[in-house]
Chain A
Amino acid sequence: MNVAPAIMDFPDRLSPMVVKELRQGLRTRLFGGVLLTLHIMLVLLTLMSGGAENTAAVSGWFDGIVTLVLCIIMPLRGFSAVADEIKSGTLDMLALTRLSAGRIIFGKWAAIASQSLLLMLSILPYVVARFVFGGLDLFGEIAALFYKWLAGVVIAAVIVALSTQRQFWLRTAVIFLVMTHMGTRAASSSMFTYFTKLGGPSSSLLLVGMAAWAIFFFLSLAATRIAPSASLLSVVKRSVHFVMILSLLLLGWLTGSAADIGLIAAGVLTLLMIDALTERVNEAPSVYAAFYQRGWPGRVALWLLAPGWVTGFLYSALLVALVAVFVGWTLSVEEAKLVAVSAAGTWMIAALVQLFSTRKSRDLLPPFIIFWLIVNVMIAILGIPLMASLSMRSATAWFTCALPQFLSSGYKTAQAGDKAALLDFGMLSSCIWPTVLLIAAVFAWRHARGARQEGWRMIHGKNGGTAD
């Protein structure tokens, strides 16, 4: 048998992972079923949209079905994308090929994105038909369809990132919370408000830019979780994230919308911190050797860009300082303090992870998520009712000083005369968490000293002095 005719369906230039995922994905019953059902429903809706009296109802159904397919059903196909590879042992086999962790993850996501794109393109004729029969705004509808696809591929990136976690319940809980949060708060969030205010092509460009960064963030987060210990993913991703934060701050300064941009930057900062603070300390000498090879700039970069949460802590401190200074300079010192306290909330979770679960966990992200869930549930059950009762009595919720995540809510509802004191107390009590992390970081850094020394010897030989 000659294999050639049977296997030339995809060109060589396509990533092997994308080819594999597309071959598998297009054959699944789910994809076929969704495609068929979607088209049956859209044909019916298009036929129904002829009458002017039911246009709004039909549009609602049309949007609902398309959103369901593009933003929920298709992204959820990534739910077990990596977890299944881990469970069946095929991830090890992939690791031994020339595919990097980044390409594996990108392939998983790109297959979902391209299948969603296929579905979106197949919907276009119905949009045109509805324009012809129903007199809709064609370009507006096409733009809306594109944004739904864009939202869908960002959600797919989140879900693919989560699929690196083996625990089914953890993935389900986080997806449920994220979906609920997005559903209830997306429309009112500062990001959307800001984009709406901008209007026109610049808002579209920014939205696409933010979506592209979000996809990069979640895919690189996922790649870090499955990458071999000797990989240097942190250098690329931390550099990109740093540029992203700088661009946002610059944009805020240039457009004079520091308040909105500052809030967006603070949100982005939280995500970056989670990634940086949940990386395992790297003990592969070749990782450190790559820095030492580049002389003193490399040795300086090592402190901020080397893989692991220790350097991640320093990196996050640098970014927090940068955003806080920007907010303090453009808005107010109080706002800058709130940014710092909000960051301390993320450091608090990372410190809890270091204190209670590092020995048992190979990956620090699951314990981080668990502690984050516990803290938020505690706030919801105990904190919110307590604050509501204090608010009814017009009293300041001083207890929010103790919990950085809760301080901004306490600050907003505090009596005018108490605000400054509340913030200062909050700042003071929040200092405990970066201090705990700093102490843990010193120990972890010392623990990896052998690997750094070995990395140093790889470059400078045995008589080349010491790494630290």
Chain B
Amino acid sequence: MDRSQPAVVVEDLHRTFGTLKAVDGVSFSIDHGRVVGFVGANGAGKTTTMRIMATLDSPGSGRVCMGGHNVVHHPAKVRRLLGWMPDSFGTYEHMTVLEYLDFYARALGFKGADRLRRIQEVMDFTDLTPLADRMSNKMSKGQTQRLCLGRALLHDPQILILDEPAAGLDPKARVELKNLIRILAQEGKTILISSHILSELGEMCDSLLFIDKGRIVHHGDAESMVRGTETAGETLVNVQIAGEPAKLIEWALTAPLIKVEEETKRGARLRIQSTDDATLAGVLRRMIQDGLPVLDYHREERRLEDAFIDMLGQIDRNTFKAQPPEGLPQKNTEDAK
């Protein structure tokens, strides 16, 4: 693989289905060895973009290069570099874990002892060896997900595309997945992961790509995303009270300088239009004076989810200022505005 060029280059990619513009001028690039999160609401264009990158769909127009190879001109070369894990994990009836991996290893061209060695390596890596004789369609979601990751790794691909790998997994399986991805990143693989669980993506990924209505609206790390959507001069405060949170909401709706960000189980997250410590302390004092039984009151860091929702709101109001995609000319970003 040519390492002088970025591992992934997507330029002005368009794809329409009938009258629906699924992908509308998407441009970004990913350097070798980077882990990038691909974020967007359902129908935003994530899966279509990823399928084109994986040579499973054709671009309407634009250019996609994986490891220096154009996906349209050299699909076979791209496939050799690529590990793909779709959101539907795809297992088979009447087939054990070992047979499943054996089938894909054969299909990828492994023969004899090489095949057995590679299957063993993948099973050890994904901790599937104890499950070798288990029917592949009779496993838990976490185990199935590990099996499918193992399948995607059989030919030791340099670029991995994981479409919603954590969907429907329990917390333990998510942690296991996160650890596996961390190890793969340390091995120098380029990984593109789409997910709805933004906090986890923030931890795992070097940068995040946000897509909305078929356009890239942000490409950068999690902090720049949070900063980009932060409204200057505001502070987020988490308040917990004894009793019904409705009392707090009612109070906040009538109080000046305060907006309710989100109702929580025992209170609410409030947005106060000030960063001044004295003002924040004054708000707490007023709460107590007005008879609210406050148990907890603390300043809160903005979450990635909040930033994302804010950003979508700003896009709807046409006030969002998009970050330029890394390594590409400004023109493409302006298209995304």
Give the B-binding residues of A (Cβ under 8 A).
1-4, 6-7, 12, 16-17, 19-20, 23-25, 27-28, 88-90, 92-99, 228-230, 283-286, 289, 359-360, 458
Contact = CB atoms under 8 A, between A and B. Distances in A.
Interface stretch (B27-35, B54-62, B165-173, B229-237): B54-62
B106 interface: yes
B106 A24 contact: no
Interface of B: 18, 51, 54-56, 58, 72-75, 79, 82, 84, 86-88, 90-95, 98-99, 102-104, 106-109, 111-112, 115-116, 119-120, 123, 129-130, 132-133, 151
B216 to A, nearest CB: 24
Contact of A88 (B90, B98, B103, B119): B90
A3 B96 CA distance: 12
A456 B102 CA distance: 41
Contacts of A16: 103, 106-107
Given A28-B94, A89-B87, 7 more contacts: A3-B120, A90-B90, A92-B54, A93-B84, A96-B55, A96-B79, A228-B56
A24 to B, nearest CB: 4
7 contacts: A1-B132, A16-B103, A16-B107, A96-B56, A98-B107, A230-B72, A285-B72
A165 B174 CA distance: 36
Contacts, number: 101
A3 B123 contact: yes
Contact of B72 (A4, A88, A284): A284
Contact of A286 (B72, B90, B108): B72
Nearest to A12: B111
A92 B84 contact: yes
Contacts of A93: 84, 86, 90, 104, 151
Nearest to B111: A12
A360 B116 CA distance: 46
Contacts of B98: 3, 6-7
Closest 5 CB pairs of A and B: A16-B106, A97-B107, A89-B88, A90-B90, A27-B94
Given A96-B82, A286-B73, A7 B107 contact: no
A230 B107 contact: no
Contacts of B119: 3, 7
Contacts of A96: 54-56, 79, 82, 84
A12 B58 contact: no
Nearest to A17: B107
A93 to B, nearest CB: 6
A359 B86 CA distance: 27
A43 to B, nearest CB: 28
B321 to A, nearest CB: 35
A25 B108 CA distance: 22
Contacts of A24: 92-95
Nearest to A359: B18
Q: Which of B93, B102, B111, B112 has the most CB of A within 10 A?
A: B102
Given A3-B123, A7-B119, A20 B95 contact: yes
A228 B56 CA distance: 7
Contacts of A359: 18
Nearest to B99: A23
Nearest to B54: A96
A3 to B, nearest CB: 5
A3 B132 contact: yes
Nearest to B95: A24
A12 B56 contact: no
Nearest to A27: B94
Contact of A19 (B91, B103, B108, B151): B103
A4 B108 contact: no
A386 B4 CA distance: 75
Contacts of B123: 3
B58 A283 contact: yes
Contacts of B111: 12
B132 A6 contact: yes
A230 B75 contact: yes
A92 B56 contact: yes
Q: Which of B104, B111, B115, B133 has the most CB of A within 10 A?
A: B104
B107 A229 contact: no
A467 to B, nearest CB: 15
Given A96-B54, A286-B72, A7 B102 contact: yes
A77 B125 CA distance: 37
A230 B73 CA distance: 8
A58 to B, nearest CB: 36
A466 to B, nearest CB: 19
A285 B79 contact: no
Contacts of A27: 94
